[in-house]
């Protein structure tokens, strides 16, 4: 999870995350969820949200997390900012640094953007999604919601989770795969070859041909990914009907007791049926709800206030 600075700590990628690091974030998030954030741990801290790409739930979730924890929040996005005028990522980060940012939350359409930003500022950089690269806080809130449902973090170990859908284009997949793995879960991938990276074998995970096969495999959790609209036009997927038939989660799958997750926003009737979204098996609302406390924990660890507050 990035590296440890003296005072600040970046959250750029989960590629090499350890079980201990995950547990540290989730334990702190649980403390905030239980009311510790009322002590305003981020008071006197300035959190900048630099969103170079449209986002609703991630931006709102970070902003709420920072404000409720007492931080000053500066939010700049594409619309009505220097970003729209063509200011570069690096220049924006340098400007925010000069204004005294303690943490910069970056969302960008290109993989590696957060890492580049981190090289140009002393503030902690938190990756809020970069291209097809990483989306670390999504994976952390997923683990939070799932371990909550199962009882505790240790319950994750040994559970089977199938990641379903457009893995090729998904930054969420690139964060949840190492995170679920570090938590001790057993993983499989469910996707056609057109939606898998060519070297997907490098993950060393079984690749299953359908959600039905994932159920047969013994999945405890189906983690479905969003299929972008522009991918539904025949180039990689022949039709929504065929995609839904083999890669869509339907109510019939829930009989096995499997849990269903989705990072949102959901295409109902494509990757997941409306009934499955609303069922008791769905963790989707819990995932969204987990976002705020998990991001508070991340911001607190990033800005170096966590130890102070946890003490």
Partner 1 sequence: MTNARASVSDELVIRGAHLLDPASNLDSVSDVRLSAGRVTEVGKDLQGTRYLDADGLHLFPGFVDVHAHWRTPGREDEETIETGSAAAAAGGFTSVVMMPNTDPVVDKPVVVSGLVRRVENESRVRAYVSAALHEGLEGERLTEMRLLKEAGAFCVSDDGLGTQNAGVLRNAMLYAKSAHLPIILHCEDHTLATGVVHEGIAAALAGLPGSPGSAEDVATATALVLAAETGAKVHVTHVSTALSAALISFFKGRADVTADTTPHHLTLTDDLVSTLEGLYRVNPPLRPDEDRIGVGDALKSGILDFVATDHAPHAASEKDLPLEEAAPGFLGHETAFPALYTELVQSGKLSLSRLVEAMASAPGRWIGGGPYGISPGAPADLTLADLSDEWTVREDALVSRSSNSPYLGRKLATRIVGTMVGGELVHNGLGAKFGARA
- Binding test (CB under 8 A) with partner 1, winner from 16, 44, 193, 307: 193
- Count Cα atoms within 13 angstroms, Cβ side, for 123: 28
For residue 126, the cross-strand partners are 11, 105
Binding residue for partner 1, selected from 5, 158, 238, 274, defined by CB under 8 A: 238
Cα separation of 271 and 280, whole Å? 18
246 binds partner 1 (CB under 8 A): yes
239 binds partner 1 (CB under 8 A): yes
**Cα–Cα distance for residue pair 82/296, rounded to 1 Å:** 27
> What does the CA dihedral 89, 90, 92, 97 come to, rounded to 10 degrees?
140
Cα–Cα dist 141/291, whole Å: 5
- Asked if 19 is part of the footprint of partner 1 (rule: CB under 8 A), the reply reads no
Residue 99: closest CA among 62, 64, 78, 74: 74
Closest distance of CB 229 from partner 1, Å: 15
One residue of 34, 38, 84, 245 binding partner 1 per CB under 8 A: 245
Choice from 129, 165, 192, 304 touching partner 1 (CB under 8 A): 192
Residue 297 Rama label (left phi>0; alpha psi -120 to 50; beta): alpha
Q: Does residue number 217 form part of the binding site for partner 1 (CB under 8 A)?
A: no
Of 18 and 252, which has the nearer Cβ to partner 1? 252
Which range touches partner 1 (CB under 8 A), out of 177-185, 237-245, 268-276, 292-300?
A: 237-245
Residue numbers of the site for partner 1 (CB under 8 A)?
Answer: 192-194, 198, 209, 233-239, 241-242, 245-246
């Amino acid at each position: 999870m990035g590296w440890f600075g003296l005072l600040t700590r970046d959250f750029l990628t989960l590629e090499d995350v350890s079980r201990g690091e995950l547990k540290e974030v989730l334990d702190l998030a649980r403390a905030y969820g239980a009311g510790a954030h009322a002590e305003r741990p981020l008071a006197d801290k300035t959190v900048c949200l630099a969103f170079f790409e449209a986002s609703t739930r991630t931006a709102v979730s970070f902003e709420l997390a920072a404000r409720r924890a007492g931080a000053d929040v500066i939010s700049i996005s594409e619309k009505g900012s220097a970003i729209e005028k063509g200011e570069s990522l690096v220049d924006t980060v340098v400007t925010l640094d000069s204004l005294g940012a303690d943490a910069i939350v970056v969302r960008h359409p290109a993989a590696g953007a957060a890492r580049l930003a981190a090289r140009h500022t002393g503030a902690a950089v938190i990756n809020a999604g970069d291209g097809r690269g990483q989306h670390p806080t999504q994976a952390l809130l997923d683990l939070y919601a799932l371990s909550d449902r199962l009882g505790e973090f240790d319950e994750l170990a040994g559970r089977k989770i199938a990641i379903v859908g457009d893995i090729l284009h998904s930054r969420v997949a690139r964060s949840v795969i190492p995170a679920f793995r570090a938590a001790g879960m057993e993983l499989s991938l469910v996707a056609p070859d057109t939606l898998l990276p060519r070297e997907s074998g490098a993950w060393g995970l079984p690749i299953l041909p359908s959600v039905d096969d994932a159920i047969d495999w013994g999945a405890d959790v189906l983690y479905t990914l969003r299929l972008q609209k522009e991918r539904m036009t025949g180039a990689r997927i022949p039709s929504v009907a065929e995609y839904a038939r083999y890669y869509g989660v339907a109510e019939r799958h829930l009989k096995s007791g499997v849990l269903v997750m989705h990072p949102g926003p959901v295409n109902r009737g494509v990757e997941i049926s409306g009934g499955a979204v609303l069922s008791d098996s769905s963790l989707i609302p819990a995932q969204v709800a987990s976002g705020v406390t998990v991001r508070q924990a991340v911001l607190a660890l990033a800005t170096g206030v966590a130890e102070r507050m946890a003490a």
